[in-house]
């Protein structure tokens, strides 16, 4: 199964991707995580994208498409993939459809996590991610068992450099002006499942799995 998770910044794409990985047994591929790892490792890609990410702007399509399409060819993504944060423009969506078609695959469902804009700032201001694997926490809705430490790998929890109010505003503006076009693109292909992301994390997971026709047991 090849799935897309589409949603505004803070809608819960990364959070729900972890649930889907466990439940469906396919791998998660987040363009944002790829970029942040490249920056941390100081690779040429990391150097090229750092300024865009720090400013909350989209990385240019050519660079983003190349990076994600190369990943899709890796063996771990052959059984299926949960794409998170890609595509974000119509050109990225067209490039993805073409690349998957060349691999004899296609998108099965595009999941749109819908959350009212006014909720998103609050969620992102309380978000912490672990330095080892970018596991996601929230001081209010999803705190770690030990403050400042990842439950899953014991690494330190930090705030993302783009989780600052003015950068969050810019990222949200880009979502509601541009990335929403990707929802329309896949709606025209009758592939969109719209999920109410403005409910507790476990309830979102249950609705999501039901929308995919997968039993909710084991979702947590
Ligand atoms: P990316 O890393 O994709 O960030 P984003 O789009 O800004 O999305 P987020 O990761 O902020 O939100 P999320 O939906 O994953 O929410 P989460 O689950 O963490 O991209 C970063 C940057 O990379 C971009 O700005 C751009 O520069 C570049 N980039 C990436 N992809 C690109 C592309 N395709 N093209 C061009 N540039 C690209 O949850 C958020 C918080 O809320 C957490 O604290 C969580 O615990 C909490 N939470 C989650 N669900 C709930 C719930 N139901 N109730 C209460 N709290 C909840
Ligand atoms: Mg994310």
Polymer length in residues for the chain: 220
Q: What percent of the chain has pLDDT over 70?
A: 98
Report how far ligand 2's centroid is from the alpha carbon of 14 (Å): 4
Question: What gap in Å lies between CA 199 and CA 183, rounded to an integer?
Answer: 21
Atom of ligand 1 nearest to the CA of 85: 3
84 is a domain residue: yes
At 198, the pLDDT band (50, 70, 90 cuts) reads very high
Residue 219, domain member (yes or no): no
Which CATH number belongs to the domain containing residue 49 in this structure? Answer: 3.40.50.300
100 in any annotated domain: yes
Asked if residues 35 and 46 have their Cβ atoms less than 8 Å apart, the reply is yes
- For residue 116, the 8-state DSSP code is -
List pLDDT tens digits, range 79-128: 999 999 999 999 999 999 999 999 999 999 999 999 999 899 999 999 99
Whether residue 152 lies inside any domain: the answer is no
Whether the bond between 87 and the residue before it is cis, its omega within 30 degrees of 0, is: yes
Give the per-residue pLDDT at 219.
Answer: 41
Judge residue 2's burial from the number of C-beta atoms within 10 Å of its C-beta, 0-12 exposed, 13-18 middle, 19 or more buried: buried
Position 220 confidence tier, pLDDT thresholds 50, 70, 90: very low
User: Which residues does 151 contact at the CB level (< 8 Å), separation at least 6?
Assistant: 135, 144, 145
Told to judge if 90 belongs to the known catalytic residues of this protein, a careful annotator would answer no
Can you give the residue range of the structural domain that contains 100?
Answer: 2-116+165-211
Q: Give the C-alpha separation, 52 to 201, whole Å.
A: 30
Q: State how many domains the chain has.
A: 1
Residue 109 a catalytic site member: no
Helix (H) or strand (E) holding 7: strand 2-7
Give the per-residue pLDDT at 215: 76
In the set 90, 160, 170, 191, the catalytic residue is 160
């Amino acid at each position: 199964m090849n799935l897309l998770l589409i949603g505004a910044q803070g809608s819960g794409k990364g959070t729900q991707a972890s649930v889907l990985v466990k439940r469906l047994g396919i791998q998660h591929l987040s363009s944002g995580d790829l970029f942040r790892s490249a920056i941390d490792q100081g690779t040429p890609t990391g150097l090229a994208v750092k300024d865009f990410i720090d400013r909350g702007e989209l990385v240019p399509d050519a660079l983003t498409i190349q990076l994600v399409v190369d990943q899709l060819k890796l063996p771990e993504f052959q059984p299926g993939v949960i794409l998170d944060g890609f595509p974000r423009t119509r050109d990225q969506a067209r490039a993805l459809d073409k690349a998957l078609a060349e691999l004899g695959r296609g998108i099965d469902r595009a999941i749109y996590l819908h959350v009212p804009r006014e909720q998103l700032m609050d969620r992102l201001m309380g978000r912490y991610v672990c330095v080892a694997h970018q596991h996601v926490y929230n001081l209010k809705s999803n705190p770690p068992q030990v403050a400042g430490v990842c439950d899953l790998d014991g690494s330190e929890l930090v705030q993302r450099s783009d989780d600052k109010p003015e950068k969050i505003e810019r990222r949200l503006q880009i979502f509601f002006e541009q990335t929403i076009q990707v929802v329309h693109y896949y709606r025209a292909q009758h592939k969109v499942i719209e999920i109410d992301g403005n409910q507790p994390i476990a309830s979102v997971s249950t609705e999501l799995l039901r929308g995919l026709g997968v039993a909710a047991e084991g979702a947590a």
